[in-house]
Structure 1
Amino acid sequence: MIGRISARWARIELALAAALAVSITCLILLNVVTRSIGAALYWVDELAIYAMAWMTFLGASAALHFGHNVAVTILTDSLIPVLRRITAKLVDLIVLVFALCMIWFCWRWFSPYQLALHGFDTEAFQGAVFNFIYAEPTTTLGIPKYWVWMVMWAFALGATLHSVANLLGQNAAATDQDT
């Protein structure tokens, strides 16, 4: 069950990452064209950077599902298969702990409970807890930065889901490692 949810979520993450990769390419081409004709659109750079950050985090989360994350395997390749599987499970456990820590940090950073306690009034929230996450706009786009930073939640939740599925041996990558 959790393996199927992880697989669906990973496909969504990859589709979004692919769409963002295409948009980055289009934004950079737009930037080249507008600069060459002397009518630069300054917000394009910022949007491309944010799209790249989102693409990276979504792709990294999906890589955990598919087992395509970067690894140095010089030590694990020399281990016997039983120790190799134990090491893989230990790595999955470390990734799970990291993802859970990210969820906790996001909770602390975004403070959704405190925001709700203040009736979603960002000024009252800021005055009470001195957290200005909801007040800072992006430089050229003018949108609230917390929308850009929401990718941290997406990554943390996706990484948690994929690492739990890996630990339970329900992801395709986990079953491929056993063969």
Structure 2
Amino acid sequence: MQDALPGDSRLALDLALTIRHDGHGGIADDLTEPAGLTTWVRAHADDLPATPGYAADADGLAAVRDLRAAVRALFAHAVRPAAPSPADSARLLPVPDALDRVNALAARLPTVPVLHWTEGAEPGVHRRPVPDGGDLAAALAQAAIAFLTGPDRQRLRACHAPRCVRYFLKDHPRQEWCKPSCGNRARVARHHERHRQPSRSAKP
């Protein structure tokens, strides 16, 4: 039986989404300062070990930002041959470097095997973090490994609606965008493009 990794594997997607469209044609980053990371962690406290009263510092922020860069590089790798999010497509880490970064951070969180054996089933084991045995970036790195080795990776997509830079999980076969508003923008953009094309090709 594969060892279960701590935390919610969807944390990796939520971490990637801290880079987003700002609503005004640019890119917003929710993790530019420790206060932003503190807010994000407290919003995800139920899925992270040992976070009551968490307050980020500069070193913790740097570690999580480094991890996020690696996760986004691996997300770009996962959605191939489709294009990655345009937010960082021009400056993605090489995949081997991203893997090294995730694995090195994940190794900082020690875990212990925990036996479970329910009635009528075979005994199994999962791994549980040692209380206070690691740090936030390590827990997030292990959540990223859980996501990238689990079934959700197959549903991962980059949204290419105008101005969107999000990754999302495809919920049904015809889904192209992360949310309906992105679909609306994409359809409007296609409509405008179709109506511009004849004027471009018209001779003077």
TM-score norm. by structure 2 comes to: 0.30
Q: Relative contact order, CA 8 A, sep 6+: which one is greater?
A: 1
Larger helix percent: 1
Larger strand percent: 2
